[in-house]
Amino acid sequence: MANEEKEQSQQEQVKKKKSPLKFIIIGLAIMIIIPVIGFFVVSKFVIKDENVEKAKKEEAMKVGEIFPLDIIVVNIAGTGGTRYLRAGISFEVIDSAVLSELNQRIPQIKDLIIMILSVKELEDLLDFSGKNQIRKEILEKVNALLRSGKIKSVYFTEFVIQ
């Protein structure tokens, strides 16, 4: 009996020794697996989003070709024909197909711009926000006219009020 008790106590000690070893191994495995999973999650979602944002910023910073129009002169509304605006306007385009369409539509574009500018009053033309509003209006209406693409930006290369 004494031998049996010794064997049982030795078996219990072996079981007790093995159980902490199991916990240590499981703990180490978890400590290794969680960072690995975290790395894959971050690399799949966060890094791709950053790359997409960088590509968009690079695209926005890319300078396209410039399409200049002839100088446009219009009377300023509300001045009785005594004052006029002389404006030079250029368009920035990314796609060369838009350039060929712009060349074909020069009379339509000039007419459109003359109609936009000739209804503006002196206060609209002198104010910075008024100029930005005119630029935005020209961009929207010219883009609505085009079929092969869009213009990216409108630039005033000359803006003289007399």
Q: What percent of the chain has pLDDT over 70?
A: 79
What pLDDT, on the 0 to 100 scale, is given for residue 42?
73
pTM value > 0.75: no
For residue 127, the Cα-to-chain-centroid distance in whole angstroms is 28
pLDDT (tens digit per residue) in 136-161: 999 999 999 999 889 999 999 999 99
pLDDT (tens digit per residue) in 40-92: 777 777 666 666 677 667 666 677 899 999 999 999 998 888 999 999 999 99
Q: What percent of the chain has pLDDT over 90?
A: 46
The answer to whether the CB of 90 falls within 8 A of the CB of 155 is yes
Asked if the model's pLDDT at residue 32 lies above 90, the reply is no
Architecture in CATH of 65-161 = 2-Layer Sandwich (3.30)
Radius of gyration of the chain (CA): 36
The answer to whether the CB of 162 falls within 8 A of the CB of 86 is yes
What pLDDT, on the 0 to 100 scale, is given for residue 24?
79
SS3 category, 70: coil
Rounded distance between C-alpha atoms, residue 18 and residue 95, angstroms: 71
